[in-house]
């Protein structure tokens, strides 16, 4: 019976440590993201919910509210502090329903981004490398951290 109590204590401590480390990792990662500035006007019908970057990557969340933009493309351009274009991504807006917005979320792995520009185009151009459609999963991040600390 004493062994079971000891095992239960260790299990509870392990679970508490896991929860605490998840919270600290989340806070540590999200505190490094800073808002970046818009360069020029944002087109009507488009709302930038989140546009943030660290020194090495960033994330974007945009909401399209205008049904007239259905079938068109968003052009997202990222710039350095000196105004150099670091990357461009074209995203198909798709169909926007009446009284419903469409959220578009993308991530990029481009360094030293300080500003952005958003425009709407009729045709899709060529996107540069460095953009991703989904973020890294928690398991992938955990695997990278384990490899980092064990090697």
Domain ranges of the chain: 1-31, 34-134
34-134: in CATH 1.10.3470: no
Please say if the pLDDT value at position 55 is more than 90. Answer: no
- Alpha-carbon distance of 99 to 67, in angstroms, equals 9
Local confidence band at 30 (pLDDT 50, 70, 90 cut-offs): confident
Confidence category of residue 51, pLDDT binned at 50, 70, 90: very high
Helices (H), the chain: 2-30, 138-150
Work out the angle between the directed axes of helices 138-150 and 2-30 (0-180°, nearest 10): 100
Average of per-residue pLDDT across 95-115: 86
């Amino acid at each position: 019976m004493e062994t079971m109590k000891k095992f239960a204590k260790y299990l509870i401590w392990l679970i508490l440590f896991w929860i605490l480390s998840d919270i600290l990792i989340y806070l540590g990662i999200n505190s490094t993201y800073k808002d970046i500035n818009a360069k020029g006007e944002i087109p009507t019908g488009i709302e930038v919910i989140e546009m943030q970057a660290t020194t090495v990557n960033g994330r974007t969340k945009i909401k399209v509210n205008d049904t007239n933009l259905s079938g068109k493309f968003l052009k997202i351009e990222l710039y350095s502090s000196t105004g150099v274009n670091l990357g461009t991504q074209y995203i198909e807006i798709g169909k926007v329903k009446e009284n419903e917005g469409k959220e578009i979320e993308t991530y990029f792995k481009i360094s030293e981004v300080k500003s952005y520009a958003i425009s709407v185009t009729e045709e899709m151009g060529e996107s540069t490398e460095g953009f991703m459609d989904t973020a890294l999963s928690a398991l992938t991040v955990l695997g990278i951290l384990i490899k980092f600390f064990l090697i």
